[in-house]
Amino acid sequence: MWLGPEEVLLAGALWVTERANPFFLLQRRRGHGKGGGLTGLLVGTLDVVLDSSARVAPYRILHQTQDSQVYWAVACGSSRKEITKHWEWLENNLLQTLSIFDNEEDITTFVKGKIHGIIAEENKNEQPQSEEDPGKFKEAELKMRKQFGMPEVEKLVNYYSCSYWKGRVPRQGWLYLTVNHLCFYSFLLGKEVTLVIQWVDVTQLEKNATLLFPECIKVSTRDSELYFSMFLNINETFKLMEQLANIAMRQLLDNESFLQDKSLPKPRKPLKNISALKRDLDARAKNECYRATFRLPKDECLDGHTDCTLWTPFNKMHIPGQMFVSNNYICFASKAEEACHLIVPLREVTIVEKADSSSVLPSPLSISTKSKMTFFFANLKDRDFLVQRISDFLQRTPSKKPCSIEREWKWNLADPGCEEVPELPSSSPLAVSPMSALSNRPVNFCAGEVPTASQGLLKLFRRNSEELLGPKGAKEKMKEESWNIHFSEYGRGMCMYRTAKTRGLVQKGIPENLRGELWLLFSGAWNEMVTHPGYYADLVEKSMGKYNLATEEIERDLHRSMPEHPAFQNELGIAALRRVLTAYAFRNPTIGYCQAMNIVTSVLLLYCNEEEAFWLLVALCERMLPDYYNTRVVGALVDQGIFEELTREYLPQLSEKMQDLGVISTISLSWFLTLFLSVMPFESAVVIVDCFFYEGIKFILQVSLAILDANMEKLLQCCDEGEAMTILGRYLDNVVNRQSISPPIPHLHALLTSGDDPPLEIDIFELIKTSYEKFSNLKADDIEQMRFKQRLKVIQSLEDTAKKSVVRAVSSDIGFSIEELEELYVVFKAKYLMSCYWGNNRAAAARRDQSLPYLEQYRIDVEQFKELFISLTPWSCGAHTPVLAGRLFRLLDENRDSLINFKEFVTGMSGMYHGDLTEKLKVLYKLHLPPALNPEETESALEATSYFTEDVTTEVSPFVSELDFCLHCESQETQEDKERRSENGPEKEEKGTSPQDYRYYLRMWAKEKESKKETIKDLPKMSQEQFIELCKTLYNMFSEDPVEQELYHAIATVASLLLRIGEVGKKFSNRPMRKSEDCKANNTQDPVSEEESPTSEQSQNSAVEQRPQADHEDKTCGDAQPEKTQQENQTLGDGSGEGQGSPLQLLSDDETKDDMSMSSYSMVSTGSLQCEDIADDTVLVGCEGSSSAASFR
């Protein structure tokens, strides 16, 4: 390719000049090509270590002038052909022009300008985004594609210099990280190392340091462990590898392929050697961390962040931290973890202004909100730019009416007078909430007309109000007052300052009147609800009356959701639960409905109205507990792995015992999926939910550790899993909430409590306090890191399980061994994934449905099948192989959806590898019949048909007479009548005696019940055009081996005669002969097409000779083939039928003896023609061999 002219000081160093003229030199890198010796090895090693461009482009063209010592590189090439093309262009277009110049500087200037012009012209048609990547990076990407054979769609993310440890010897080279692969290349003194690993095959990534390996990265797959070290920035490399592996796992989990974000803001400063993809991944990582920290919607994108200080009025301090700005939010996080968090939605912002700077407050910024709160930020480095960005976002943010509802509604909930009122006045903010349109009218959904719950069900179904006047009621009022004081100091709503004091109040339990509000705020569900007004009502309306698998499961579980609570003992609660679960199933069909969602949702409905419960469920399933509620509960399994790892770290004595008992895998799913709601009394579990919405999964893990720690002594003495489960069940049944104002609800697990001693009660708040004291050092960032590590293990384990299930399902009907099937499954899956990586329209990824059985999840199209067929088939047909592959694909695609699954794939391959001789012949025969054979493919055969049609007139009369033809039909009819009488005689006798009747019918019934195996008699007949296509396939299947050539010529002779005989039959069938018509009316001949037997059998025998690894039976048939051919020729010559030593006696296949009523080879005799079997489009005919011989004798 042409290069922007670059100065070269030493033109002869490590380069050899091959061509020269007064103005240009064509050079080759030393050691490239043939030979090279020690110099070539040294130069090659140097190129790899120094990442020289000469490794990819070993040819170059330099511009020179006679008196100058400076050379200019103007072109380079990866092959001699490419560089020669450039050289010839220079000679033809520039040499004559350059000879006119007198000044050498003008010559150099002209050459530079000309080369720049060529480059600019070539770049006109290139996509503009390609210019985002720096030149050095493009060069590295070119090296990667050439070295590893990657297509252009495989994008390089970044590359690093490092060492790969092969044994105890480090190999210095380059590590290339692409979107789908990890690649490594090293060349040291003639020893080359090339590694290519798919990210989907990685089972573990670790960064560690040992005595043998210095600080290194360990990459584990199912088959090997690879160690890479000596990185300049190992942390950056490891982080990028984690991201890419995580993307691959997401693709396996939910079929989400990687799509580059084209809307990334361009960097303000040019970045060296950093690709647009690397910036994309960095931005994704920051966005995920930003959204997780502040519980923001999934589509929120971070625009930037800067260091600053925030004035906190509650303690009169400037707290250092970072400000984050995105499309819809301004957030602040203090450097001290628990000091302060702040979230300011831009929809709430009214004024953003720059205050006057001072020595105390440099570069201050004031932001005011609709709720009359003002936030002061200071020490901003680029305040003007920040203000401009915030102003731009504010202009794009429409004012939302629900924002005013937000403030009024929250204050209204704090009003004690609202507690006992089941029906709200029309002026209440709840009446004009986004749910008002739905709550003011009855909703008919699955079961009658029921009103929509417009407030928490607990307020409508509070059974005992005496508790409100007792000590518990006073305690509840104190909690509410504490929160009201907190609101007055720290603010209320989304803009509240969230500090350690906030967490302390949550740990003491949220008052029932504030629980719904605070759940919405802490989970971030409120943000999504106010920005999507009417969304839930529309979903409910669209989902009404529609049924699918999810709705059936929902209906089944509705009455199992807290049946002990009065709110779900009537149609109001059941209908509300049905609507919320159904609406979410329609919102997210990937999840649909999963068991345990009903339990969690029923608790949400107790404290929130339907719309709020719906958005809380969205936050729970899609952000706070990712992948928990899919078909394989991957998220719960991931956190179960984290729980086991934390148990080993914090409770090492108990960890080994729990692993032996297998308890952790049992308890963790029920604890995590339902947030302890199904295993703990409701009044206690709801406090767990309070803390969970504030802290996230970190709190669930630390409470689980506290429960194990409290029962350590008893668990260590357990003998089996059942005893351990009973101990933990009794413990959880007796976790009580003595401060609850609601009457106790009977708990289903209380049945586990037994024994004479009264159970020891555990206060829920003491349990929470203990969990914070012992295990509060858990960090959210550490848990996310552990989640990635466990996700690799879990998904790969699920993939292994899927492979075993598929192999077990197909192994009974397939000739391959279990090991062979597993290897084929890996190849099949890899081919599918390649189509996801490099497919033009990502159609392959779109067709994978996770809800389908494992066997149906991976399916390939015809192009992928052709690639697999060419590499795996034992039937080599040269250029004809892709055609044969397409036919086999159409034959296997029974449902005609242009896709085949693994079972269909191995069924076709097994027929070629492990089928007996007859099965292989059937496959070859079927490949030349519809649907395998397209109608278009037979058009070319019509030209060959015309050849035989023209030639047939000269051979009709010498071949057979009309009288002989009719006599043959009569003799055939007579013979058949005799056989029919002989067969029917015993049958009538058997039916005539009553004792034998039941046995006869039992045998007939048994035959019907048996799965009928397809025989040769069941195959349809083949037309002349189809037979010609079969001959083409046979021609392509033979090699140039003399023995095979001799065999093929024999087969070709027989095929030619068959075609001629078919034309004779067509001639006779067209004549109006009365006797012939009578024969057609009376004769009931076997409909099997005899054509496939000789040709197909011989073709298979020829294929056997090409495969030395074939079985003994195939070899025997192959050896006998020349003898058969000789006998065929003899049969053709004298017209004799079957007799001693005829080819029929050489056939050892039992099925052929049973199903064929004649010799497969007697059909080529002149006496084998039958008028009733000859049609316009049929070549081959069938008849009784004995009658054929008799009629012509």
Q: What is the CA radius of gyration of the chain?
A: 41
Average of per-residue pLDDT across 536-550? 90
Nearest by Cα to 477 from 501, 513, 449? 513
Average of per-residue pLDDT across 780-792? 90
**Mean pLDDT over the full length of the chain:** 75
**Cβ proximity of 749 and 679 under 8 Å:** yes
**Cβ proximity of 11 and 64 under 8 Å:** yes
**Can you give the pLDDT at residue 91?**
83
Q: In what order do the strands lie in the sheet with 191-198?
A: 191-198, 181-188, 169-178, 156-166, 225-229, 216-221, 202-208
Average of per-residue pLDDT across 1110-1133? 38
Q: Assign 78 a pLDDT band (cuts: 50, 70, 90).
A: confident
| DSSP letter for each residue of 306-365 | EEEEEEETTTTEEEEEEEEEESSEEEEEESSTTT-EEEEEGGGEEEEEEPPP-SSSSS-E
Per-residue pLDDT of 1002-1014, as tens digits, reads 776 666 555 556 6
DSSP 3-state of 76? strand
Per-residue pLDDT of 424-445, as tens digits, reads 333 333 333 333 333 333 333 3
Per-residue pLDDT of 521-531, as tens digits, reads 999 999 999 99
| DSSP letter for each residue of 210-255 | -SSS-SEEEEEESS-EEEEE--SSHHHHHHHHHHHHHHHHHHHHH-
Per-residue buried b or exposed e for 397-419, using 16+ beta carbons within 10 Å of the residue's own CB: beeeebbebbbebbebbbeeeee
Could you give the C-alpha distances from 56 to 47, 341, 1141, in angstroms and in order?
9, 52, 68
pLDDT above 60: residue 1121:
no
Label residue 836 left, alpha or beta by phi (over 0 means left) and psi (-120 to 50 means alpha).
alpha
**Amino acid occupying residue 1069:** S
Give the number of other Cβ atoms within 10 Å of residue 1120's Cβ. 15
Per-residue pLDDT of 142-152, as tens digits, reads 888 888 888 88
DSSP 3-state of 149? coil
751 class by beta-carbon count within 10 Å (0-12 exposed, 13-18 middle, 19+ buried):
exposed
Q: Assign 81 a pLDDT band (cuts: 50, 70, 90).
A: confident
DSSP 3-state of 22? coil
**Can you give the pLDDT at residue 756?**
52
Q: Assign 623 a pLDDT band (cuts: 50, 70, 90).
A: very high
**Longest CA–CA separation in the chain, Å:** 126
**Can you give the pLDDT at residue 357?**
81
**Can you give the pLDDT at residue 677?**
92
**Can you give the pLDDT at residue 31?**
64
Could you give the C-alpha distances from 475 to 24, 461, 481, 509, 518, in angstroms and in order?
94, 21, 10, 11, 19
Residue that has been written with the tokens 């020490």 in this structure: 379
pLDDT above 60: residue 408:
no
- Give start and end residues of each alpha helix (H) in 94-175: 95-98, 104-122, 135-148
**Cβ proximity of 186 and 48 under 8 Å:** yes
Average of per-residue pLDDT across 62-86? 80
DSSP 3-state of 1010? coil
Greater pLDDT, 894 or 668: 894
**Can you give the pLDDT at residue 345?**
94
**Can you give the pLDDT at residue 812?**
81
- Give the percent of the chain with pLDDT over 70: 69
Q: Assign 344 a pLDDT band (cuts: 50, 70, 90).
A: very high
**Cβ proximity of 1125 and 1161 under 8 Å:** no
The tokens for 1191 are 């009629």
pTM (2 d.p.): 0.72
Which of 286-290, 728-732, 911-915, 947-951 is the least confident region?
947-951
Q: Assign 211 a pLDDT band (cuts: 50, 70, 90).
A: low
Average of per-residue pLDDT across 237-256? 86
**Can you give the pLDDT at residue 997?**
60
Q: CA angle, 378 as apex, 373 and 381 as ends, to 5°?
A: 135
**Amino acid occupying residue 160:** Y
pLDDT above 70: residue 53:
no
Label residue 534 left, alpha or beta by phi (over 0 means left) and psi (-120 to 50 means alpha).
left
**Amino acid occupying residue 576:** A
Per-residue pLDDT of 553-591, as tens digits, reads 999 999 888 888 888 888 899 999 999 999 999 999 888
Average of per-residue pLDDT across 340-345? 94
